[in-house]
Amino acid sequence: MAFRAPLRSFATAARQSLKVGLIPADGIGREVIPAARRTLEALGSDIPKLQFVDLDAGFELFTKTGTALPEETVQALKECDCALFGAVSSPSRKVTGYSSPIVALRKELDLYANIRPVAAVAENPEDKPNVDLVVVRENTECLYVKQEVLTPGEHGLEARATRLITERASRRIGKMAFEIALGRPRKQVTIIHKSNVLSVTDGLFRQTIRDIPQASEGRYDGVKLEEQIVDSAVYRLFREPQIYDVMVAPNLYGDIISDAAAALVGSLGLVPSVNAGDNFVMGEPVHGSAPDIEGRGIANPLAAIRSAALMLRHLNYAAAADRIDKAVNEVIREGQVLTPDLGGSSKTEEVLDAVLKRL
């Protein structure tokens, strides 16, 4: 991956061990998170001694126990240094009592930033990729506050949802985007919004981020600031992906844009992310639980493996993250061991073995 800059300077010098929470959750999460664990274990002395904590969450757990996110899981994570989350099956219909555990964890642990690097793997390692961008998605508000009501109206039922945008959340996600841009060659931030229609909510998001450089005492003077209306941003993303470097967006737009960007590099099975706050980081592959391939042994583990690398990078173990990224890129570049989503016929375990061999 082309992502190189640590997102936060977590203190690591005195750390003797890394306590990693593992939450496979639903579907193929139970297949790709073990692959990420084995990759971390293969790093040896490049990182501190690893201690893994297996934790439960997810829709399947909810169907069995009535709880999607046990309090024990939340408390155990607060004792960990970092975590990896697999995937969650979120039903498209309303299920009484159910709420997404990943959304709840982001709020519970104040993981306000979802950082999703999307980079193509060039055929020649010396060439620049034609797609190399980072989507920085605000992770705690927008429509994801899940305040919805259904009421009788004059012409039948009316459904309404509250959309929350605050100056505080907008400022800190904006600062995260600027910090990431500082560590990248192009040093460009593009604000994604729809303030031509949503002039109050998106207007606040846009203006708050535009004001950040003036209050930074020169820290971000080298960062170029752009903006793009969300619908035209999606159009240009497919037509001219090279124009983007760091894209910062409210929760819903960031979710959509990052999934769309995955199509530019071949598959959701390649795209990693981290959910980051000021004191904790949790890796999470961008793909979902994929019930159609669950249990068939063909899930692509590379997004989860890359998410583990991104988690390490956030913790300032850049050399270890580089090793993982290099191994993954070599597997993709050689094209001999790929899962069906990338046009191959290999199994999850075979792709993992290919990565481990290169480590």
Positive or negative, the CA dihedral 358, 347, 311, 237 is positive
CA–CA separation, 166 vs 321, rounded Å?
34
CA–CA separation, 24 vs 37, rounded Å?
11
Active-site entry in 19, 175, 194, 347:
194
Active site annotation includes 107: no
Q: Which of 163, 181, 72, 45 is nearest to 117 (CA)?
A: 181
Active site annotation includes 194: yes
Q: DSSP secondary structure string, 109-160?
A: TT--EEEEEEE---SSTTSPPS-EEEEEEE-S-BGGG--EEEEEETTEEEEE
Backbone angles phi, psi at 210, to 5 degrees: -65, -30
What are the structure tokens assigned to 211, written together?
Answer: 């004001």
Centroid of chain to Cα 103: 12
Task: Confirm if 80 and 63 have CB atoms less than 8 A apart.
Answer: no
Task: Confirm if 130 and 119 have CB atoms less than 8 A apart.
Answer: no
CA–CA separation, 299 vs 32, rounded Å?
7
Active-site entry in 56, 81, 112, 144:
144
Q: Which of 180, 200, 204 is nearest to 190 (CA)?
A: 180
CA–CA separation, 155 vs 312, rounded Å?
54
Q: Which of 4, 77, 2, 69 is nearest to 282 (CA)?
A: 77
Active-site entry in 46, 110, 211, 259:
259
CA–CA separation, 254 vs 252, rounded Å?
5
What are the structure tokens assigned to 52, written together?
Answer: 């893994």
Three-state DSSP at 275 gives strand
Active site annotation includes 244: no
Active site annotation includes 78: no
Active-site entry in 56, 202, 255, 341:
255
Active-site entry in 54, 127, 231, 278:
231
Active site annotation includes 202: no
Question: Which residues are known to be catalytic?
Answer: 144, 194, 231, 255, 259
